[in-house]
Structure 1
Amino acid sequence: MASLAEIEGFIAPEAFFELDLGDEDFRQNAVDRYASLWATRQPFYARRLGIPAVVCSRARDVREVMLNPSRFVMKAPKLPGYESFDIFGGLESVLQMDGDRHGRVRRLMNPAFSPASLPAIRPAVERIVKERLDAIEATGPHFDAMQDLCDHLIVRSLLDATFQLNPTQQAAFERVHRAIFAMNFRPGQARPQEYTEAIEGARAVIADLIEDRRHNPRDDFISKLISARDEGSKLDDAELYGQINTICGAALGSTATSLAAALYLLGRNPDQFDMLKQDHSLIDDALEECLRMHCPGFFFFPRFAACDTEIGGTPVLENMLILASPQAANFDPEEYEQPGKLDIRRKPKPLTFGAGSHHCIGVLLAKMTMRIGMRAILERFPGIRLADPAFRPTYGGNVGTLTIASLPMWLS
């Protein structure tokens, strides 16, 4: 089993990409510069906050990582220096499970995210969208599509409509979300105090939620998780804690960024935006194309080599960090003609939500929420546009995420 020091010694210093992937320069230029540059590049070595990693950015290499869970695992090795990969503070998430256990927990979670579960949620999401657009119209015509619309819309659609949490409970998970996405510490550094306090606060809220739903079950996600069975097996309390924290806390940012990114890309391509405004039947295809062009994260959740192996001709040591990039893979010219061009009639099949057994479990809910939001925006404000036609986002979040900080727009 290779140690971090052995992994360091395995790679010649000159073989590393020149920037640390945690550097601000990389974050701010990841979409516009590195996605297309790396889309045809053989897997290569880089550092993520000082930790050596193999970066996979061609579509075929990303799929190889996604579709070979026996070679590339989600659970981080217990190595000195890898502590930062426990982003949930000891609460084990389905995102960090492998093999039979992952399959069992995933099967127990599936009913809560199935197509059959969406019609019950849809009216509440539509109500929340209308309320947000009412508020924006009342203070318009200038607004921030990320801060005034997408952030609020997704938080309320998930935490209120889907999970039926009260405002105090919602605030606790919003705090977890902010703390997780501010985690950018290197090996040897202590966890931020805000992160520790946020996780402890979430634990207390989750305990209350489980107790309440066991005695007063509802037709909601948490009640379904508690009652779900797989061949007689149920989620134990530790598993419930981990999955509730993952879905209610960690998952908030991706859908918000995806809807904001769609508005941004369409605003930067007014011919495509005009086409969509004139034909709302293109909404699904347009959103899919925007998800291809701008992922919520430049990298997927980290994986680790389970053995000495290779990817695309690049040697990999056991325990090495593997970073697969859907953002770059979606620009691979072997997959798409003119990959840098937004074409809402393209009908792409992007890797944005992953592939294989760890394909995003909430993808149907996310796409439904985006679809409802986009349709309502276009019907209500057909003249919507970017405040600055040449606007370029500033990105925040933890390493590898592409959280849009602000998106100034005009209603007409």
Structure 2
Amino acid sequence: MISLVEEEKKETGILVGLDKGEKNFEEAFEELEELAISAGGLIIDRIVQRLSSPTAPFYIGKGKAKEIAEICKEKKVSFVLFNDDLSPIQCRNLSSLFGCKVLDRTQLILDIFAQRAKTREGKLQIELAQLLYLLPRLTRLWTHLSRQTGGIGTRGPGETQLEVDRRRIQEKIHRLKKELEEVKKTRYIQRSSRQKSPWPTACLVGYTNAGKSTLFNLLTNSKVLVENKLFATLDPTIRLFEFSGGQKIFLSDTVGFIQKLPFHLVESFKATLEEVKEADLLIHLVDISHPLSENQIEEVNKVLEQLGALDKPTILVWNKIDLVKSNGLIKRRIQEYPGSVPISAATGVGCEKLLLKIEQWLKTKRRYLSLKVPVDRMDMVAKFHRVGFGVETDYQPEGILVNGWIPLSFVSSFEPFNVLSNGHEGHENGNVRRIQ
């Protein structure tokens, strides 16, 4: 993919948007500029045209396209960036008319991901997404070589080259998918080992740049990259977090979501996004200081629904309260979203309340047991200590009394020694969207 970053200076570009009457057009267009800046570009002009639908040859109207071509020539811009995806023929026509690079939203996001990917898994996923994007755009790429008489025995070199390129890309896509399957198997093994652990997994999700990595670093004392730009984090990181009371939870930091997240990315990042799908709890971070924070919640929920994770137990967290001047906004958001927690991951304010909320949820995944274990079954006492928390032990001649909270999945193995007829059972409500 084409990078917007040159060695010495930033490339200058123009943003172009087609306003078709969509309610989130302005937000998406503003976000496009943020993406361009995040990629290293310098935006010198923004052009919007109102049309009910795109035109086949240029996406925008022909007159508007010629107007932009004049601006490109006058200001010597390096690229023109469109807010939506372009067809191969639209991209070719516009490039020829403008005399510079023409990029669409998907191509830009793929470029940013390519810049940020650090691990082998991340690089494989990005390369696959790029090739899936490129494959249908090979058509007409070699038309300048195919102007020869057709017929048997006279096939033009352009057509031959096109077929060779398509075959090579398809072979590479197949190879990358096989490599990612191996990555998926490795993740499955790692996830299986975590699932055998008595501790559940909580996954940080949210719009890009909502502060997930900042919170992750604060809670786990990690050093995940934190930058004030979109898609600073691509590769998931998992750490075990221990509460003061002895409870533990696996905490996972994930890639942020965005409007119009390219289909190729969702497909390519399935191995990574499965961390979200398999999590026991979602911690949904929202930038309360963003003027369109509620729209961002909707966009995140769309991706969660696509992943089949929308109905998971979720704690909604209003982050960046240190950037909000009015306490009235914070109070209003809490009233509108009961059970939500206001915090500042940058300063740590409110994080104790968040941890308490997570601990309360953890109790719903456990049951309080009181056991009387024979002295010849010390293995069960050791297991109780290993998987439980808040454990109290009293060694008596007739047996060992053990009390504590146990994960629901382990209850049956301790039931023969349980002396409580009705334990303090945890509860679970599968229909609860947010934790109150």
- TM-score range for the pair, normalised by the shorter chain length: under 0.3
TM (norm. structure 2) is 0.24
Higher Rg: 2
Is the helix fraction higher in 1 or 2? Answer: 1
Relative to its length, the structure with more strand (as a share) is 2
Q: Which has the higher contact order (CA 8 A, sep 6+)?
A: 1
> TM-score under structure 1 normalisation?
0.25
